[in-house]
């Protein structure tokens, strides 16, 4: 896997750095130069490709986990307060 | 090897949409919806208020739990938050989004309550513990020396393409992920709930939590990594080791 000089082929950026930058990369919050390095690395590194995909999966699944729809324990009191406030302050804007 | 990252495509298309005229802009439609909601709230529309409460109450409770002792106190904090929102709607000038304003009120109240309960005497030191440059990932996964230093020693094993569907179909997996989220330190939980669970834009999350975007992504990645480990543990059929 090493190049002629015996240097690793991923000389621009390490896998550890890719792992650190995975979330910022997925959300497009890395500067162009870094983004280019990461994209090049991902194209040739199966370990990093897997890792970034897993973080993307986590991000996506967390966003669609079933949510319990909760209401305030005293929602009636809140609604009454809302109505009372609206009566005191007729919409002026 | 083709890496398909949905987030990249999404935000690229978002940028393209954003460059069009406002009336064709889908985010303008969303903004109009928010303005409409605010107008309805100011007119005293009860259904608009119910809508607002339903939309944010769960996340408010979940976040408040990170600041105070128990669920009961968290509910009081959020109830107080709603009362402040009701009283303040007439004065709300819309300089921030309605959501940023509401979450800001809750955090202020929850911190105040948490300090009064002496749960966290110094928030700043508590928060800084998670702001340091500690690695989100375990250094032992990587070669530490030699020409492969910094590269995978123990690369992650791929999940199959059906993993999202399998996770969502399994109550055990859902419970494992929710437990991992609840077990996060507050600073990490706040960003994960706002950004990934509620889908709040990065800049708005920063406004709500008063942190930089760099800080946001350090925290967000740590949070996602811990949930990833919970998923990994579920997939290999053992309990989380965290």
What is the CATH classification number for the domain harbouring A51? 1.10.10
- Mean pLDDT, range B168-175, rounded to an integer: 95
Q: Taking 70 as the threshold, does the pLDDT of residue A5 lie above it?
A: no
What fold does the segment set B18-122 form as a domain?
Rna Polymerase Sigma Factor; Chain: A (1.10.1740)
Query: Are A16 and B213 a contacting pair at CB < 8 A?
Result: no
For B196, the closest of A45, A59, A79 (CB atoms) is A59
Query: Are A8 and B141 a contacting pair at CB < 8 A?
Result: no
Q: Which of A33, A70, A36 is nearest to B64 (CA)?
A: A70
Query: Are B46 and A43 a contacting pair at CB < 8 A?
Result: no
Structural domain includes residue A26: yes
Interchain CB contact of A2 with B (< 8 Å)? yes
The size of the A-B interface in CB pairs under 8 A is 185
Structural domain includes residue A1: no
- Mean pLDDT, range B28-50, rounded to an integer: 82
| Interface with A, mutate which of B11, B40, B45, B82 (most A CBs under 10 A) | B82
Interface of A with B in 46-75 (CB under 8 A): 46-75
Long-range contacts of B204-207 (CB under 8 A, 24+ apart): B204/B97, B204/B99, B204/B100, B207/B96, B207/B100
**ipTM of the complex model:** 0.82
Q: What is the per-residue pLDDT for B74?
A: 94
Q: What is the per-residue pLDDT for A33?
A: 93
Structural domain includes residue A15: yes
Q: What is the per-residue pLDDT for B115?
A: 78
Range of the domain at A14: 9-64
Q: What is the per-residue pLDDT for A90?
A: 59
Q: Taking 70 as the threshold, does the pLDDT of residue B201 lie above it?
A: yes
Structural domain includes residue A79: no
Least confident of A75-79, A85-89, B146-150, B153-157: A85-89
For A57, the closest of B1, B164, B192 (CB atoms) is B164
Question: What's the domain count of chain A?
Answer: 1
pLDDT top residue among B235 and B16:
B235
CATH for the stretch B162-242: 1.10.10.10
Q: What is the per-residue pLDDT across A44-91, written as a single tens digit (0 to 9) for each? A: 999 999 999 999 999 999 999 987 777 888 888 899 999 998 887 655
**Token code pair at residue B193:** 């709930």
Structural domain includes residue A43: yes
Q: Taking 50 as the threshold, does the pLDDT of residue B239 lie above it?
A: no
pLDDT category at B134 given cuts 50, 70, 90 is: low
Q: What is the per-residue pLDDT for B94?
A: 83
- As a whole-number percent, the residues of chain B with pLDDT over 90 amount to 62
Q: How far is B55 from chain A (nearest CA, A)?
A: 9
Q: What is the per-residue pLDDT for B27?
A: 57
Chain B residues near residue A60 by CB distance under 8 angstroms:
6, 164
DSSP class per residue in B6-57: HHHHHHHHHHHHHTS-GGG-HHHHHHHHHHHHHHHHHTT-HHHHHHHHHHHH
Q: Where are the domains of chain B?
A: 18-122, 162-242
Q: Taking 80 as the threshold, does the pLDDT of residue B131 lie above it?
A: no
Q: Is B170 helix (H, G, I), strand (E, B) or coil?
A: coil
Q: How far is A29 from chain B (nearest CA, A)?
A: 8
Q: What is the per-residue pLDDT for B119?
A: 56
- Mean pLDDT, range B109-120, rounded to an integer: 78
Interchain CB contact of B44 with A (< 8 Å)? yes
Least confident of A19-23, A63-67, B116-120: B116-120
Task: Count CA atoms closer than 13 A to B222's CA, side-chain side.
Answer: 23
């Amino acid at each position: 896997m090493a190049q002629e000089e015996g240097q690793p082929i991923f000389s621009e950026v390490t896998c550890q750095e890719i792992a650190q930058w995975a979330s910022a990369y997925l959300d497009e919050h890395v500067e162009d130069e870094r983004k280019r390095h990461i994209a090049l690395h991902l194209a040739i590194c199966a370990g990093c490709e897997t890792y970034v995909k897993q973080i993307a999966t986590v991000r996506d699944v967390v966003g669609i986990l079933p949510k319990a729809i909760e209401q305030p324990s005293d929602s009636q009191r809140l609604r009454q307060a809302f109505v009372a406030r609206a009566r005191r302050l007729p919409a002026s804007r | 090897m083709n890496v398909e990252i949905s987030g990249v495509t999404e935000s690229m298309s978002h940028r393209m949409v954003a460059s069009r005229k406002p009336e064709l802009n889908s985010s303008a439609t969303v903004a109009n919806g928010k303005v409409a909601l605010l107008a309805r709230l100011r007119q005293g529309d009860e259904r608009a208020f119910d809508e607002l409460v339903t939309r944010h109450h769960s996340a408010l409770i979940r976040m408040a739990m990170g600041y105070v002792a128990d669920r009961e106190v968290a509910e009081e904090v959020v109830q107080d938050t709603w009362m402040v929102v009701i009283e303040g709607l007439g004065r709300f000038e819309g300089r921030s989004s309605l959501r940023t304003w509401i979450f800001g009120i809750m955090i202020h109240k929850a911190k105040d309550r948490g300090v009064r309960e002496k749960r966290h005497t110094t928030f700043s030191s508590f928060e800084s513990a998670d702001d340091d440059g500690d690695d989100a990932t375990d250094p032992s996964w990587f070669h530490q020396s030699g020409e492969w230093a910094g590269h995978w020693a123990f690369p992650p094993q791929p999940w199959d393409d059906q993993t999202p569907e399998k996770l969502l179909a399994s109550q055990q997996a859902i419970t494992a992920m929710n437990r991992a989220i609840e077990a996060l330190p507050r600073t990490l939980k706040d960003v994960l709930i706002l950004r990934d669970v509620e889908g709040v834009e990065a800049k708005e999350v920063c406004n709500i939590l008063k942190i930089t975007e760099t800080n946001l992504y350090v925290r967000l990645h740590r949070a996602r990594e811990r949930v990833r480990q919970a998923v990994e543990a579920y997939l290999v059929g053992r309990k989380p080791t965290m």
